[in-house]
């Protein structure tokens, strides 16, 4: 496994880690991932998988970079402290390596939330502060509210067919030395990528490189300097294949083939703004997740 360094946060992460949203694979695939060096394991209080992750890392905790997330409805100080304690209990660990705010919450003052995150670091309950699904403006406000620590990562959707982060968010994270943790890097199944691949470009590049189609799709993500990928793998064989996406690079020509040959969407500023407004309204109505 190859690793990426983020000097601004003294952070070293594997190019490939593993996510556990809707995970049903049990302990063995996660243990295989750790064995192969893909030791970033990501979960969340909303996933219902913290207990299985805790079981998988038992006895090898010192080899694992453990990440979990708090729901937006828990961003008030008392609620966030309680959420962290409950995650620690479910995971069966003494500290969380990366604690992430799962989505922005526009109804809770960001200063209160970030001060609580710093409090958790100072208490030794978490090592690093991360966020998920934050825009550039969300990141700027959150970082400005911190006084002693830095946001080290932003977990976002990114794949061959969803390239919304390219442009301002990717540039900002490069400038600020923030890791972009790509969830759904295989678009929730290679079949969704192939639906956008009328010319079978993924199959072609797979043949040219001698790598599997999944490895090509994952490697395309991690060619960006700030991006690491966290696919979900529910079998040991799948874990081994995904880990084979690390340690090599697609050539610029192969990347260009994929960029030209596979259709993708990229939300524009207007759509992104409308989505934030809708989330804000839902949160004000008490429907924030």
Residue 269: other Cβ atoms inside 10 A:
10
252 CB-near residues (< 8 Å, 6+ apart): none
Residues 247/253/254/260 CA torsion (nearest 10 deg): 140
Q: Clarify whether 47 is annotated catalytic.
A: yes
Residue 271: other Cβ atoms inside 10 A:
12
3-state secondary structure (DSSP) of residue 156: strand
d(CA 32, CA 233): 10
Residue 146: other Cβ atoms inside 10 A:
17
d(CA 252, CA 176): 25
Helix (H) or strand (E) holding 239: helix 236-243
> How many secondary structure helices (H) and strands (E) does the chain include?
12, 10
Instruction: Output phi, psi for 38, to 5 deg.
Output: -85, 65
Q: Which residue intervals of 62-212 are DSSP H helices? A: 77-91, 110-122, 136-144, 168-176, 190-195, 201-209
Tokens of 265: 């969407």
Rg from Cα positions in the chain: 18
Pick the catalytic residue: 23, 47, 158, 172? 47
d(CA 217, CA 206): 9
Which residues are known to be catalytic?
47
């Amino acid at each position: 496994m190859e690793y990426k360094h983020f000097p601004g946060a003294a952070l070293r992460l594997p190019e490939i880690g593993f996510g556990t949203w809707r995970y049903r694979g049990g302990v063995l695939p996660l243990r295989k991932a750790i064995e192969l060096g893909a030791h970033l394991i990501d979960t969340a209080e909303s996933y219902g998988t913290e207990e299985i992750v805790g079981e998988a890392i038992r006895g090898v905790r010192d080899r694992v970079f453990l990440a979990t997330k708090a729901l937006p409805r828990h961003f008030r100080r008392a609620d966030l402290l309680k959420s962290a304690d409950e995650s620690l209990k479910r995971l069966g660990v003494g500290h969380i390596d990366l604690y992430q705010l799962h989505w922005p919450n526009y109804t809770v003052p960001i200063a209160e939330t970030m001060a609580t995150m710093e409090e958790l670091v100072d208490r030794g309950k978490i090592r690093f502060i991360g966020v998920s699904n934050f825009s550039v403006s969300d990141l700027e406000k959150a970082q400005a509210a911190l006084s002693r620590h830095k946001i080290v990562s932003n977990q976002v959707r990114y794949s061959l067919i969803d390239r919304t982060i390219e442009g301002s968010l990717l540039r900002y994270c490069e400038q600020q030395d923030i890791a972009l943790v790509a969830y759904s890097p295989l678009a929730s199944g290679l079949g969704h990528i192939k639906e956008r691949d009328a010319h079978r470009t993924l199959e072609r590049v797979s043949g040219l490189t001698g790598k599997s189609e999944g490895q090509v799709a994952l490697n395309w993500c991690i060619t960006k300097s700030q991006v690491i990928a966290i696919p979900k793998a529910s079998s040991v064989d799948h874990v081994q294949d995904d880990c084979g996406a690390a340690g090599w690079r697609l050539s610029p020509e192969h990347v260009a083939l994929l960029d030209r040959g596979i259709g993708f969407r990229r939300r524009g500023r207007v759509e992104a703004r409308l989505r934030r407004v809708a989330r804000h309204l839902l949160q004000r109505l008490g429907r924030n997740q």
